[in-house]
Amino acid sequence: MAFLQHKLLLSSLLIFRIIVEVSSRGAVYTPPSVELLTGRFNHVSVNQGFSVSYGASHVRWINNGSYADLSLDKASGCGLVSKKKYHYGFFSAAIKVPAGFTSGVVVPFYLSNKELFPHNHDEIDFELLGHEKERDWVLQTNMYGNGSVSTGREEKFYLWFDPTAQFHEYSILWNNHHIVFLVDNVPVREIIHNEAISAAYPLKPMSAHATIWDGSQWATHGGKYPVNYRYAPFVASFGEMELEGCILQQNSSTPSCSRSGLSSLDPVEGEEFAKLSQQQITGLEWARGKLMFYSYCKDTSRYKVLPPECNAK
């Protein structure tokens, strides 16, 4: 009898522990089924598609360059930049972020042309933000077009998985019709290229970037929870890269493919990429309904007059 009571007590404690751990990470959700967009494109080894942009001593190539570990410590962060520039395309990375206390650590995967157009650059961002609560991470998406950096178009999401436990795919589809942010192929955000957003819609060629850096001053309530380097180094792993699209030819302003019309020959500008499928729409609605906790379009304290695309929704 005593043995049975002891066993029941252990079972109860295990269930309690599981509940506490799940509660500390928020609600657990299962995403709807969506088409595997990442399955349509080939993987590129990280060292084939990217060069080191800074912090070379903090970059470690894994498995002959198929993967790369990027580390942040008190001395430096580091970054990679794609060897080619693209007028539009599909860009994806499998990422595993550091575990433990990661407040202030930022792991971005993004597109930018700041080096080419410093005063009117474009940018499309995925940013994984280390949270002040241990083991928690937040996903932020953002976009700038034609130097519109004074208008942040951030949206923030909780994740439905532990991003430190294994690799997960973060993908950007960018063409003349829309920009779609996808996590494990589930769309979490769509920016439709319409008249309301046209002045700030990215259209100039961009490079892909993968970095890790100290975002203490803005990522944690204005520096309230800065990076604690007692827990360094912080290591983010990247792999399974996909870079597919309209490549800017060297010493030319002309892309190597046409972006006019809906050509079925264009890998990311054709009809099947012009709008979301019904499955993808269902996934988008699920992600935004269950996981999004901040949108600039609802931030009336920040914007007394909301950006025009907010009113067009």
What is the per-residue pLDDT for 268?
87
Q: Tell me if 113 is assigned to some domain.
A: yes
Convert 57-68 to b/e letters by CB count within 10 Å (16 or more is b).
ebbeeeeeebbb
Q: Would 69 be classed as within a structural domain?
A: yes
* Inside any domain, residue 190: yes
The whole domain housing 178 covers 36-303
Is residue 270 domain-resident? yes
The Cα–Cα gap between 13 and 51 comes to: 50
Count of domains forming the chain: 1
**Alpha helical stretches, state H, the chain:** 2-24, 46-49, 216-219, 278-290, 308-311
Q: Distance (Å, rounded) from C-alpha 29 to C-alpha 114?
A: 37
Cα 241 from Cα 51, distance rounded (Å): 13
Residue 16 inside a domain? The answer is: no
Has residue 184 been placed in a domain? Answer: yes
Residues annotated as catalytic are 123, 127
What's the pLDDT at 311? 85
Nearest to 146 by CA among 175, 116, 191, 180: 116
9 is a domain residue: no
CA 262 vs CA 172, 258, 310: distances in Å: 19, 10, 27
pTM of this structure: 0.88
Nearest to residue 59, comparing CAs of 291, 233, 269?
233
The enclosing domain of 122 has a CATH number of 2.60.120.200
Listed in sequence order, the residues at least 6 apart from 1 whose beta carbon sits closer than 8 Å to its beta carbon are none
Q: In a structure prediction context, what are the per-residue pLDDT tens digits for the chain, which is 313 residues long?
A: 554 444 444 444 333 333 333 433 556 789 999 999 999 999 999 999 999 999 999 999 999 999 999 999 999 999 999 999 998 999 999 999 999 989 999 999 999 999 989 889 999 999 999 977 655 899 999 999 998 888 989 999 999 999 999 999 999 999 999 999 999 999 999 999 999 999 999 999 999 999 999 998 776 666 678 899 999 999 999 999 999 988 887 766 555 565 444 444 567 887 889 999 999 999 999 999 999 999 999 999 999 999 999 987 5
